[in-house]
Structure 1
């Protein structure tokens, strides 16, 4: 579903992403890890077509992100970091706006996809509340809901449980895990317990380069008995 080959992105003299390559199949949840500034968000933005790579390719469900950016965006549900939204809109208005932008022009069809997304993300109690008045956790759920609206075959989620309380985190993780049987998921996270809970593979990038591509079990086996955060620190401490 996702094939990344030799992605490169440079900002001035800094090479943020340096030749990253990997694949994600349907049914996989890829945990995408790395220290702040390692190149995670930049890589995800290139995969989704929001940034143009300086070199390399990314193909999503058969569509090249450089040659067919709109086709890629139709295929992907994307939750960017901090879940930007229009604060003066209610949750329902914002999701309806996104649905229309996604091509759901007829009102009954648009209402159906909005209701489905609200139900999946448990937003019923705040659907008529303006986004600027919502808690951080509810704002994050609105962002997650817009990523799910069009039932995409690929999900790219940048810190999807950021700001959620423990119960909400468990709900979102369960939702991702249930949906992943029919989708390919890239999940960026700083929460290593999330990797253990739902990820089928782990990728770590450090200084813009891929250093690990393993299953969680293989990752843990690098230092038997060590905590995941200890292993992660040893692999990436040159970035810190």
Structure 2
């Protein structure tokens, strides 16, 4: 499968410009859409999922025009929105059965087999009789993936799926998502850099509705090799360093402020070279975008 997004733009009635000429090319596998809160990620996901109209631009899933063939697209789509609600008094088994009916699985025997197989796939079979209101955040997210998988989708969209999960549930969710991408396009929208570095073979950085970078994580990191330097400074001196250097990130550790800068040449002044990371790529792109907004 191939998903092609060309020059997609969207402005809401209140004047907020959510997307500006967004163009991306996606194939089977996990694709990370990385950006801060309010960057336009959810707007892009909702548009791809046929839940809102675009002002301009085109989206094609293979030869299918997504913006004009909504019913056909929805038959090929699995979607886990950022705010996925459940009926707290229903069991996982009962609600998934109901969703399967809504999605067109009419045969009761077939539906029961599907529900059991999906709950086993997301490691919830032992909890299938429990009320969804008793589930942890990670369990609810795994249930959300189960409902998204009904109908053998060719395109799966998951919007901020690991936000609020503890490390154990996040790792469990990583393993689940990794198993889905062989024959499916999986779009992972997130503001957590670790999600992308752990899971995705390709990614894009989006900020203020614009795509700032698109490519492979390894290539993006390679481009910053030898350009990242770090130093611990007193917090009160941060403004001075921001004036003189391209400070891309800061982190307070044991009373000292550790800053990371990007420099084309040896930085000197006590800075030490450090290994570049995808987080450096992300912050450098966001910083560059902010610097050139007038």
How far did 1:221 drift?
A: 1.9
Residue aligned with 2:203, SS: strand
CA offsets, 1:147-195, max 9 Å, x none?
Answer: 1122211111112233433333223222322221111111112222222
Match of 1:13 among 3, 6, 15: 15
Aligned residues: 238
Do 1:60 and 1:75's aligned partners in 2 also have CA atoms closer than 8 Å?
no
Do 1:7 and 1:57's aligned partners in 2 also have CA atoms closer than 8 Å?
yes
Do 2:105 and 2:111's aligned partners in 1 also have CA atoms closer than 8 Å?
yes
CA offsets, 1:57-110, max 9 Å, x none?
Answer: 112243222211011111011110032222232111111111011110110111
Equivalent residue for 1:232? Answer: 282
- 1:1-240 counterparts in 2 under 5 A? 1-11=2-12, 12-26=14-28, 28-224=29-225, 225-237=275-287, 238=290
Residue aligned with 2:17, SS: strand
Residue aligned with 1:180, SS: coil
CA offsets, 1:184-214, max 9 Å, x none?
Answer: 1111122222222220111011111111011
Quote the Cα distance in structure 1 between the aligned partners of 2:62 and 2:155.
8
Higher relative contact order (CA 8 A, sep 6+): 1
Equivalent residue for 2:234? Answer: none
How far did 1:215 drift?
A: 0.2
Give runs of ≥4 in structure 1 deviating > 4 Å. Answer: none
How far did 1:128 drift?
A: 1.4
* Unaligned ranges ≥5, structure 1: none
Task: Give the TM-score of the pair, scaled to structure 1.
Answer: 0.93
Do 1:144 and 1:160's aligned partners in 2 also have CA atoms closer than 8 Å?
no
Do 2:138 and 2:173's aligned partners in 1 also have CA atoms closer than 8 Å?
no
Quote the Cα distance in structure 2 between the aligned partners of 1:115 and 1:62.
34
Quote the Cα distance in structure 2 between the aligned partners of 1:18 and 1:175.
32
How far did 1:132 drift?
A: 2.0
1 or 2, which has the higher helix percentage?
Answer: 1
Quote the Cα distance in structure 1 between the aligned partners of 2:79 and 2:56.
22
Quote the Cα distance in structure 2 between the aligned partners of 1:198 and 1:52.
29
Task: Give the TM-score of the pair, scaled to structure 2.
Answer: 0.76
* Unaligned ranges ≥5, structure 2: 226-274
Equivalent residue for 2:236? Answer: none
Quote the Cα distance in structure 2 between the aligned partners of 1:147 and 1:9.
26
Do 1:61 and 1:75's aligned partners in 2 also have CA atoms closer than 8 Å?
no
